[in-house]
Structure 1
């Protein structure tokens, strides 16, 4: 309503910290099939409302933020490939224990602090590195590219240990990895959108560059997308 997009179809897409990558790939397919010509993707989070400020496993990690991107039909391909995966066997590693239909809100759930983000950090670390490596390599392979072809690598800004480990296992040069985690913390679905915007503004991404966005989040979910940056 505020942006006067009165003719646009709108819907929410929930995929935790992978949300923006899921949304970008969804919009890409809408456009590539001719269903729509333009799409506005917004990743926005206010995680400060969902963290227990006495729980240092979570409260020191997360931040609030929002980022957006406009996609449009074009003769030249800007999105080269994408990959999404889900792993429901580990859905308890990052979660809100209560508040929805499985465990509705009650006095008991509030008293037990079950409406705050709960995370098993060590397990998340291992799977985040594993799945972001997997989807990044698979996505690059789909368009016959390798890690060496990447000009700018933008991982979900989860924490510096995960980013460092992922960079190491993928053997990506550190100067190709964009990090702004120190400014905002983990802003979940907004993370890669904010980082992409800042990377462009700082001149880290130039016309024709190959850019990889990769993310991992609750669900568990993971995904990567390869872009050829077109001004």
Structure 2
């Protein structure tokens, strides 16, 4: 059976930097409050009107180039997002068109919120392992700024999110550098803890009307306390699953790259693992929570900083709405 490798990876974030100070008047908050609560100092937001696919496109092009292929070599495009350009169709065909792919390939979206990129790795690696496809573009990209309540009423959630995109190309390999395993999980009991309900079919016959908007059903809502309590259990649990599956210990791992949702979640997860924060990559202070993009953005920056190199083992983990959570072990 084939093994899958990440042959190219890249990211893109908007140029527009939004600091905590920029939000102080907008959301009636303070830099100190945001940093103490989340560890976030700034985030990137797109300029008004930029669609998700436009933000993701540079990352897609760079990942394809890094993999040594051309867009027409792609067999599939799989996108993970909760902020697609349209309600339908999905964003993958839009990416296909904007890349100039002239062949009729598989292109579809998944919705696994903050766990999406590891879900993408699992789906893509299965296609590679079965021999179905040879070149798969995975895209984790979210424009969360277009979903937020940027008034004082939305402060608790609005300060947390940023915009960003990451893309990776999977290819088959017989080398030791490969995706060792992926592990994905969900528990629907967490649905009400983190969600944006509209536009959803539950709001028949008017998916978006004045009442839906007045009640804020179109905005992200979360029970921060419950999300925190579950995240700091599930991510360490998922890391341990990946280690045990591959007969590894933390000492074998060069770096853990966890979903960047909240610095306190990262800190508490590391503590539960008995792991130094030196082994836990952190860039949430720069970008906030970019949802499906946090993992690939962090992977790219960690590579640029020399945090891991060829032959090193890294562990990815994430937790998000659903609840969904996941982990992956990769030998780079």
Query: So what's the TM-score if we normalise by structure 1?
Result: 0.96
Matched, 1:72 2:168: no
Flag the structure with higher helix content: 2
Q: What are the superposed Cα offsets for residues 9-67 of structure 1, whole Å, 9 maximum, x if unpaired?
A: 11001100001110011101110111111111111101011111121210111000001
Q: What are the superposed Cα offsets for residues 132-186 of structure 1, whole Å, 9 maximum, x if unpaired?
A: 1111111111111122211011000001010000111112222111111011100
Distance 2:130 2:248 in 1: 24
Matched, 1:62 2:165: no
Contact conserved, 2:117 with 2:139, CA < 8 A, in 1?
Answer: yes
Task: Give 3-state SS (helix, strand or coil) of 2:180's partner.
Answer: strand
Aligned residues: 229
Q: Which residue of 1 aligns with 2:148?
A: 51
Q: Which residue of 1 aligns with 2:226?
A: 123
Distance 1:214 1:68 in 2: 17
Distance 2:231 2:247 in 1: 24
Q: Which residue of 2 aligns with 1:195?
A: 298
More RCO (CA 8 Å, sep 6+): 1
Correspondence for 1:209 among 308, 312, 315: 312
Q: Which runs of 5+ in 2 are unaligned?
A: 1-96
Contact conserved, 1:81 with 1:140, CA < 8 A, in 2?
Answer: no
Q: Within 5 A, what are the aligned runs for 1:1-231?
A: 1-7=97-103, 8-54=105-151, 55-77=154-176, 78-103=178-203, 104-229=207-332
Contact conserved, 2:121 with 2:182, CA < 8 A, in 1?
Answer: no
Q: Structure 1 residue 90: deviation in Å? A: 1.3
Deviates further, 103-112 or 61-70: 103-112
Q: Which residue of 1 aligns with 2:56?
A: none
Distance 1:31 1:124 in 2: 34
Distance 1:194 1:18 in 2: 14
Task: Give 3-state SS (helix, strand or coil) of 1:179's partner.
Answer: coil
Larger radius of gyration: 2
RMSD of Structure 2 on Structure 1 (CA): 1.0
Query: So what's the TM-score if we normalise by structure 2?
Result: 0.67
Task: Give 3-state SS (helix, strand or coil) of 2:257's partner.
Answer: strand
Q: Which runs of 5+ in 1 are unaligned?
A: none
Contact conserved, 1:99 with 1:105, CA < 8 A, in 2?
Answer: yes
Distance 1:97 1:29 in 2: 31
Task: Give 3-state SS (helix, strand or coil) of 1:70's partner.
Answer: strand
Distance 2:243 2:134 in 1: 25
Q: Structure 1 residue 98: deviation in Å? A: 2.3
